[in-house]
Amino acid sequence: MDKRIIKTKKNLKDTVVLLLAEKPFDQIAVTEICRVSSTSRVTFYSHFADKYDLLEEMFQDMVEWATGHFFRLQRRNNGEGNVAKGWLNVLDSIFALFREKQDFLRHAALEKNPYLYFCFSRHLNRMVLQYMEACGGAKNSAFTSAQLTGFICNGLWGFISESIAAKMSLPQIQEQTGRLLRQVLEGRILGTPWDGALAAEIGGERDVSAEH
């Protein structure tokens, strides 16, 4: 892609993040995005159909980043393809994304920006479904891949969102979310035999900063 296009798109995306600190996404107009970013409407519409198209690309960028982070972790620490450890890497990737894009994702709360909330949930579902299919889907579970993906993603994202609303720190949220995921895995809902050696890691004691 042309460097000028990359620069223009980044400017527009950064402007959306800036405006979200002031108002909900529903109240942000293309005219305002163009004014704050010093971009003409002609230029905006040469790249995006509307503000929702711009937002969609922002989420696609995030999914691509998180997916890349996940597969790097898999290559680094899960060459044997352990399913439970794979879920740990999914969780690590979600929180790595939060650290990387916290200025944007902190606004994706249900009560403040329901459209952002549901868009992120949809993209998160898609990313986790990729992992489900990569590890053989739900062949060892009584439930379908789509059902399990919806359960994990909607549950985790809801849990994380409520924790953010309660003004918990990211390390606290990661520790508690890890503990929740451990209990899900222990219940074998996902059809994954629990590896006790991973208990401490799933519980949030693992240092993921070096893997960011």
Domain boundary pick from 48, 67, 87: 48
Please indicate, yes or no, whether residues 76 and 168 belong to a single structural domain of this protein.
yes
3-state secondary structure of 80: coil
Please indicate, yes or no, whether residues 42 and 57 belong to a single structural domain of this protein.
no
Please indicate, yes or no, whether residues 5 and 42 belong to a single structural domain of this protein.
yes
Average pLDDT over residues 44-53: 98
Instruction: Tell which wins on pLDDT, 206 or 1.
Output: 1
The candidate with the shortest Cα–Cα distance to 134, out of 145, 122, 120, is: 145
Please indicate, yes or no, whether residues 7 and 67 belong to a single structural domain of this protein.
no
> pLDDT of 32-46, one tens digit each?
999 999 999 999 999
> What pLDDT is stored for residue 181 in this prediction?
78
Please indicate, yes or no, whether residues 118 and 68 belong to a single structural domain of this protein.
yes
Please indicate, yes or no, whether residues 7 and 108 belong to a single structural domain of this protein.
no
Please indicate, yes or no, whether residues 68 and 8 belong to a single structural domain of this protein.
no
Domain boundary pick from 10, 26, 48: 48
Helix extents (H) in the chain: 3-20, 30-37, 41-47, 51-77, 83-100, 102-105, 114-134, 145-165, 170-186, 199-200
Domain with residue 3: its CATH number is 1.10.10
> What pLDDT is stored for residue 43 in this prediction?
97
Domain that holds residue 2: 1-48
> What pLDDT is stored for residue 190 in this prediction?
56
Please indicate, yes or no, whether residues 35 and 111 belong to a single structural domain of this protein.
no
CA separation, residue 105 to residues 97, 120, 174 (Å): 9, 9, 15
Please indicate, yes or no, whether residues 72 and 11 belong to a single structural domain of this protein.
no
Q: Count how many domains the chain has.
A: 2
> pLDDT of 138-166, one tens digit each?
666 777 878 878 877 778 778 887 888 88
> pLDDT of 56-72, one tens digit each?
999 999 999 999 999 89
Please indicate, yes or no, whether residues 37 and 56 belong to a single structural domain of this protein.
no
Please indicate, yes or no, whether residues 33 and 58 belong to a single structural domain of this protein.
no
> pLDDT of 107-135, one tens digit each?
988 888 999 988 988 888 888 887 777 76
Please indicate, yes or no, whether residues 15 and 115 belong to a single structural domain of this protein.
no
Instruction: Tell which wins on pLDDT, 14 or 190.
Output: 14
CA separation, residue 177 to residues 34, 43, 132, 170 (Å): 38, 42, 19, 10
